[in-house]
Structure 1
Amino acid sequence: MKRIAWGITGSGDQIKETYEIMADISKRTDIEFMVFLSKEGETVMKWYRMWDSIQHDFPNFKTDAGPNSPFIAGPLQVGHYDALIIAPATANSVAKIVYGIADTLVTNVVAQTAKGQTPIYILPVDQVRGEVTTYSPEGKEMKLKMREVDVRNSEKLAEMENITVLKKPEDIYKLVGLE
């Protein structure tokens, strides 16, 4: 892969792990990244004190100014990027994608990219039934029970055309040939 578009939603769960992996890939390869954040993705990056880091580590980045963004969707539709990765993806974003709602930067980019040939990889945070452990911005461990509706939407997402669901952030290494 030469170019990856990476979309970040408002999930705190798995954001640090995903960020560390993407930064590692950026350092170890010559892959060109274009990063874009939903409004809530920007908020979460600030909560988790990662805002300065992302601007430093990924200088080609954009924030949500509305759902229509030709500077992202157009190049993805015509194959300028080798892949679109949405990681991590909130239950809200996953539900919107599953039901065809494209009213945010991230959901619209997925909808438009799906019309082309660029492969889409999404890491939903709510895909395991039962309880999961995550961490607050202060590092405090939290236990969350996944809602059945959110897990079912992640399963539906996996059935969609041109979308591959990632099970964990480390799966991104396999996409770029670093295992």
Structure 2
Amino acid sequence: MKRIAWGITGSGDLIRETCDIMLDIKKRADIELMTFLSKEGEVVLKWYKMWDDFKTNFPDLKTEGGPNSPFIAGPLQLGHYDMLIIAPATANTVAKIVHGIADTLVTNAVSQTAKGDTPIYILPVDRKKGTVTTYSPKGKEIILKMRDIDIENTEKLSRMENIIILDSPEELYRIIGVSKE
């Protein structure tokens, strides 16, 4: 059985897709899944009206009380979990990680996990230059332009020790070892 820690930040982009895939993986794989949310991750799940279903589908859920509360950095650093997944990750979270700022539950978890051997997989929402199509909570299509600084931070993140960048939520199947079919 794989043990996975999954952190969610305050991104509306890719949140529904990521949650749907993680639920599918959870139903089909022998995994122990602990989920933790930044304060803004909880806000976004509520804004997208996903909160009640999320709590039901992912009962081992922890919400941020502070950078080290609840205490998950220790078990992550000591290898209790087989991997740490941060998906989706906002540009703000990526920038903090790149610059060594560990002032949220998610950024502290990454900072401390990177000191050990547990692999860290991050799905930044700002990955490539250009535009991306996403959707509002009411389903309205929104086109967002990626800022150069956010793309640069994602590139820096990809060069950091023990961090692997994911290009899409679908890559979660591969890294966890579950067939899409």
Length-normalised TM-score, structure 2: 0.97
Alignment map for 1:129-144 (pairs within 5 Å): 129-144=129-144
Q: CA deviation at 1:2?
A: 1.1
Q: CA deviation at 1:30?
A: 1.6
C-alpha offsets along residues 7-54 of structure 1, whole Å, 9 cap, x if unaligned? 000000000000000000000012010000000000000011110111
Q: Distance in 2 between matches of 1:90 and 1:70?
A: 21
C-alpha offsets along residues 143-172 of structure 1, whole Å, 9 cap, x if unaligned? 000000000100110000000000000000
Alignment map for 1:1-179 (pairs within 5 Å): 2-69=2-69, 71-179=71-179
Q: How many residues align?
A: 179
Q: Distance in 2 between matches of 1:68 and 1:76?
A: 12
Question: Quick check: 50-59 or 6-15, which moved more?
Answer: 50-59
Q: Distance in 2 between matches of 1:85 and 1:131?
A: 25
- AA of the residue aligned to 1:7: G
Gaps of 5+ in 1: none
C-alpha offsets along residues 81-123 of structure 1, whole Å, 9 cap, x if unaligned? 0000000000000000000000011000100111111100000
Length-normalised TM-score, structure 1: 0.98
- The SS at the match of 1:71 is coil
Q: Distance in 2 between matches of 1:105 and 1:32?
A: 20
- The SS at the match of 1:68 is coil
Gaps of 5+ in 2: none
- AA of the residue aligned to 1:42: E
- AA of the residue aligned to 2:104: T
Q: Distance in 2 between matches of 1:142 and 1:170?
A: 21
Q: CA deviation at 1:69?
A: 3.1
- AA of the residue aligned to 2:94: V
Q: Which runs of 4+ in 1 moved over 6 A?
A: none
Q: Distance in 1 between matches of 2:64 and 2:176?
A: 26
C-alpha root-mean-square deviation of aligned residues, in Å?
A: 0.9
Q: Percent identity?
A: 70
Q: Distance in 2 between matches of 1:54 and 1:145?
A: 29
Q: Distance in 2 between matches of 1:71 and 1:59?
A: 17
Q: Distance in 2 between matches of 1:21 and 1:104?
A: 25
Q: CA deviation at 1:70?
A: 6.0
- AA of the residue aligned to 1:113: T
